[in-house]
Structure 1
Amino acid sequence: MDAMWNTEQPRDGFGPDPFNPYPFARPVTYVGGRSKKQLRAEIQSTCPKLPGVYGMWDRKGQLIYVGKSKALRSRLLSYFSAANAEEKAGRIIAAARVIQWETQPSEFAALLREQHLIRTLTPRWNVQEIPKRQRPVYLCLGRPPAPYFFLARVPPKDSVACEGPFHGAGRMSRAVDALNKHFRLRDCSSQQTMHFSEQLSLFQLEHRPGCLRLEINTCLGPCAAGCSRGEYDRQVAAAKSFLEGLNAEILVQLQDSMQTAAERRQFELAAHARDSLQVLEYLHRKLLYLAEVRRTYSFVYSVPGYDGSGIWYLIRNGEIADRLVAPQCTKTFADARPELRRWAAELEGSDTATTGQASNGLYPHTLSLVARWFRKNKDEHQQTFLPSQAGHKYRSAKANPRRYTVVG
């Protein structure tokens, strides 16, 4: 079996887990076989019906797929179903020679681990084999000295604002085009030199714009001294407010443009405005929802583990910000107090609770995961509390322990 492994891939595990607060790694098991029949038999006899993540390696030792499940054995056995032979699952298992799984204390922990592994290991069937139009993208505002809207697969660290992920690359590309035109932001190459109006000397020659957008009034023209830095920054601020769900002016303007064009029988212009409006209405709804999550999701989330390894997650502005071992006794609760005080200060220092403005932390990609989790599992809100309420939560949990239900 050793020959099937690429030494660049983790042999005995998937690597570090930033969301595991325990001093030990989660249990990992791997099985191998030269045929689907052998692999299935190994899984049937050794894989538990517990939450966790799994990875599949091909004959060359390349990691080709990562997944998660709240019942690992049931999920892995489903790949061998005759009904899936021609589907994606069937094609993945046909190429697999080694399968590795790592149990997680809960389904929520498995979700976080899966997302982290896909982002860091980029398995082929999770990334390359997905059509570009279906890959998630982030809508970003940034790239100095003249920021503008653009799409990115990974949230950049130096952007003015960033939100997502969104699905539908084609739809999002149309949204970016409409947003840059409405806010009159550039969309030119990073190689294009910017010349703001205050940078011109008395005898300096005029700079020619790099495209026609300045002439047709869809760009302020920072490349040709068409605006001052202050004028451009004001447009960036307005664009940022749209990204934060605070500014819907563009929707009103597009609606008016569509109606005016239709009244003048300019049907092509009306259709273009309609298409842009549909894309941006979808985007605005999503931005409003994410802004609400950022504004209201700042708390501690208590998640029990099937093996007693519960975790308290700090969720700040809708994102996972930190985690600690769920206190099990008086001593462990006392040990957790300094961290809980730090968490309380961190939440009090968050301006999102009052302004609704986005503030990305270390794991901005967890925002949508957290939002989907609580939307799907509404009862889980009962397991959230503020750091100042941790003592009451600990005593309540000790008196009435919440057990993790193992599927199957």
Structure 2
Amino acid sequence: MARKRTSQSRPIFDPASDQSPVAGSGFGTNPLDPYAAEDAVSGGLQSRPNEIIGGDSRRELREQVQALCPPVPGVYGMFDRTGELIYVGKSSSLRNRLLSYFGQSAAGEKAGRIIENARAIEWETQPSDFAAQLRELELIRRFIPRFNVQGVPQRQRPVYLCLGRKPAETFFLANSPPEKDLVAVEGPFYGVGRMSRVVDALNKTFRLRDCSNQTPFLYADQMSLFDLQPRAGCLRLEIGTCLGPCAAACSRQEYLQRVNEAESFLDGFHSEPITATQEIMEAAAANRQYELAARARDTLRSLNYAQKKLGNLAEAREHYSFIYAATGYDGRAIWYLIRRGEVVDVAAAPTDTAAYRNLKPRLKQWAVRLTAPSSRTVSDYPYTVSIVASWFRKHRGELKQTFAPESAGRRYRHLTRVAAG
């Protein structure tokens, strides 16, 4: 397969489609690229430089990467002989990362398996490493390439820990955050197995139901036409791990109190589930119930993972509400509006007085958004909080590139000079 440049006139992938992109079709529009609209007006359909190479051997692919791929931030996709996207990755230096796939050290690793199946490589440059991380996760969520999610425990498909589903709220997992009927949602977390253990432990600790939403629920303070004694749908009421909203064993207020306590665990401030699981493990070990102790140990590890991740997310939500000016190596710096740790809007960084004047109405809207009452369940990009939390934890110096919308007038000239440098 010969090298092939992307065409400005070819169709791009429709993000509303469920199909995977075909080699050479591009990755589609980027919702967090503010320059896309400008490029579309100027006649281009792809908002970022995009290129594809192909070959029937590792040597052909390596030679083309060495000759054509730039050492700049970006994302890349690997396609097999049928043109199916099998892997998406990112790097602060595309050229160096792609060349590493052809080294001897990668032969027996995951990278070796990927490149053995690859017949084409497509890359899309990004203005910064931060932008590349956001784009990579967006593409993985959209296309779910098989090498990103299968057989690799560290990169399993993300799941979200949700609390909701009236009339009797419960913890549950979702591949993407539901749009309604939620009290709170956090994530993403990785590892469906361990997060399932977390959900089971949380529902038992806070005595929330875990049955189907088709179960009839009746609270003790609800009126009933008939004087019937409802029966619990399972044994959890009898053993004390559920309040029994299906059997009128609690009032709505009593159940909501436990829901509120459960929500505090998502804030990273409640250790009752970990303490309870620790006690179960120690008691089982003392009584030589080794299978029960082993299950409790696995659950404890899962809860510790979830609590650590929740702590990081809580820190981001508490402290990260500002504009972040991410430097663009190509002069295309981006201003990200980050609210409670999530990227909620983007704008092209102004480079002159006229551009700043055009941006001022939007900056006023951003100031209102940052001061609006907080909502834990409504967001266009909930998955970005994990990237934001990790980014500023690893790059504390980047906090100097943040500011409030009200300070944009004093900061933009300085930040644009820094970006240009």
Q: Give the aligned partner of residue 383 of structure 1.
A: 401
- 1:148 pairs, out of 156, 162, 170, with 170
Decide whether the 8 Å contact of 1:35 with 1:97 is kept in 2.
Answer: yes
Q: Give the aligned partner of residue 157 of structure 1.
A: 179
- 1:137 pairs, out of 138, 143, 159, with 159
Letter in 2 for 1:36: R
Q: Give the aligned partner of residue 10 of structure 2.
A: none
Against the structure 1 CA distance between its residues 74 and 277, is the aligned structure 2 distance closer, same or farther, given a 3 Å change threshold?
closer
Decide whether the 8 Å contact of 2:75 with 2:125 is kept in 1.
Answer: yes
- 2:149 pairs, out of 124, 127, 150, with 127
Task: Identify which range, 130-139 or 53-62, moves more after superposition.
Answer: 130-139
Cα distance, 1:282 vs. partner?
4.1
- 1:26 pairs, out of 20, 43, 48, with 48
Q: Give the aligned partner of residue 69 of structure 1.
A: 91
Cα distance, 1:237 vs. partner?
1.6
Residue 21 (structure 2) pairs with residue 9 (structure 1): yes
Cα distance, 1:378 vs. partner?
1.2
Q: Give the aligned partner of residue 43 of structure 2.
A: none
Q: Give the aligned partner of residue 78 of structure 1.
A: 100
Decide whether the 8 Å contact of 1:133 with 1:170 is kept in 2.
Answer: no
Task: Identify which range, 67-76 or 184-193, moves more after superposition.
Answer: 184-193
- 1:295 pairs, out of 318, 325, 330, with 318
- 2:57 pairs, out of 35, 38, 52, with 35
Against the structure 1 CA distance between its residues 197 and 387, is the aligned structure 2 distance closer, same or farther, given a 3 Å change threshold?
same
Cα distance, 1:270 vs. partner?
7.3
Letter in 2 for 1:339: R
Q: Matched residues in 2 for 1:309 and 1:18: separation?
A: 16
Residue 385 (structure 2) pairs with residue 367 (structure 1): yes
Task: Identify which range, 268-277 or 376-385, moves more after superposition.
Answer: 268-277
Cα distance, 1:377 vs. partner?
1.0
Letter in 2 for 1:183: F
Q: Matched residues in 2 for 1:262 and 1:98: separation?
A: 55
Q: Give the aligned partner of residue 245 of structure 1.
A: 268
Against the structure 1 CA distance between its residues 180 and 100, is the aligned structure 2 distance closer, same or farther, given a 3 Å change threshold?
same
Letter in 2 for 1:389: S
Decide whether the 8 Å contact of 2:231 with 2:247 is kept in 1.
Answer: yes
- 1:217 pairs, out of 233, 236, 240, with 240
Q: Secondary structure at the match of 1:222?
A: coil
Q: Matched residues in 2 for 1:241 and 1:148: separation?
A: 14
Q: Matched residues in 1 for 2:201 and 2:113: separation?
A: 39
Q: Matched residues in 1 for 2:296 and 2:277: separation?
A: 6
Q: Matched residues in 2 for 1:364 and 1:138: separation?
A: 10
Against the structure 1 CA distance between its residues 205 and 53, is the aligned structure 2 distance closer, same or farther, given a 3 Å change threshold?
same
Q: Matched residues in 1 for 2:20 and 2:204: separation?
A: 46
Coordinate RMSD, CA, aligned: 2.7
Cα distance, 1:271 vs. partner?
7.2
Decide whether the 8 Å contact of 2:76 with 2:124 is kept in 1.
Answer: yes
Over residues 303-345 of structure 1, what are the superposed CA-to-partner deviations in whole Å (9 max), with x where a residue is unaligned? Answer: 1211111100001000101010100000001011011111111
Q: Secondary structure at the match of 2:239?
A: coil
Over residues 119-167 of structure 1, what are the superposed CA-to-partner deviations in whole Å (9 max), with x where a residue is unaligned? Answer: 0111111123435994433221122221111222322222211112223
Against the structure 1 CA distance between its residues 312 and 74, is the aligned structure 2 distance closer, same or farther, given a 3 Å change threshold?
same
Decide whether the 8 Å contact of 1:51 with 1:107 is kept in 2.
Answer: yes
- 2:209 pairs, out of 186, 201, 216, with 186
Decide whether the 8 Å contact of 2:331 with 2:419 is kept in 1.
Answer: no
Decide whether the 8 Å contact of 1:132 with 1:169 is kept in 2.
Answer: no
Against the structure 1 CA distance between its residues 279 and 68, is the aligned structure 2 distance closer, same or farther, given a 3 Å change threshold?
closer
Q: How many residues align structurally?
A: 394
Residue 192 (structure 2) pairs with residue 174 (structure 1): no
Letter in 2 for 1:214: L
Q: Matched residues in 1 for 2:275 and 2:90: separation?
A: 43
Cα distance, 1:390 vs. partner?
0.5
Decide whether the 8 Å contact of 1:209 with 1:221 is kept in 2.
Answer: yes
Decide whether the 8 Å contact of 1:51 with 1:71 is kept in 2.
Answer: yes
Decide whether the 8 Å contact of 2:321 with 2:338 is kept in 1.
Answer: yes
Against the structure 1 CA distance between its residues 220 and 349, is the aligned structure 2 distance closer, same or farther, given a 3 Å change threshold?
same
Against the structure 1 CA distance between its residues 274 and 95, is the aligned structure 2 distance closer, same or farther, given a 3 Å change threshold?
closer
Against the structure 1 CA distance between its residues 305 and 196, is the aligned structure 2 distance closer, same or farther, given a 3 Å change threshold?
same
Residue 415 (structure 2) pairs with residue 402 (structure 1): no
Alignment of 1:190-269 (within 5 A): 190-199=213-222, 201-252=224-275, 261=283, 266=287, 268=289
Q: Give the aligned partner of residue 392 of structure 1.
A: 410
Q: Matched residues in 2 for 1:257 and 1:60: separation?
A: 52
Q: Give the aligned partner of residue 73 of structure 2.
A: 51
In structure 2, list runs of 5 or more residues that go unmatched: 5-12, 14-18, 40-46
Larger RCO (alpha carbons 8 Å, 6+ apart): 1
- 1:98 pairs, out of 106, 120, 139, with 120
Q: Matched residues in 1 for 2:372 and 2:247: separation?
A: 41
Q: Matched residues in 2 for 1:94 and 1:334: separation?
A: 52
Q: Matched residues in 1 for 2:154 and 2:397: separation?
A: 35
Q: Matched residues in 1 for 2:73 and 2:407: separation?
A: 29
Decide whether the 8 Å contact of 1:244 with 1:358 is kept in 2.
Answer: no
Q: Secondary structure at the match of 1:224?
A: coil
Residue 357 (structure 2) pairs with residue 334 (structure 1): yes
Q: Matched residues in 2 for 1:132 and 1:288: separation?
A: 20
Cα distance, 1:276 vs. partner?
4.8
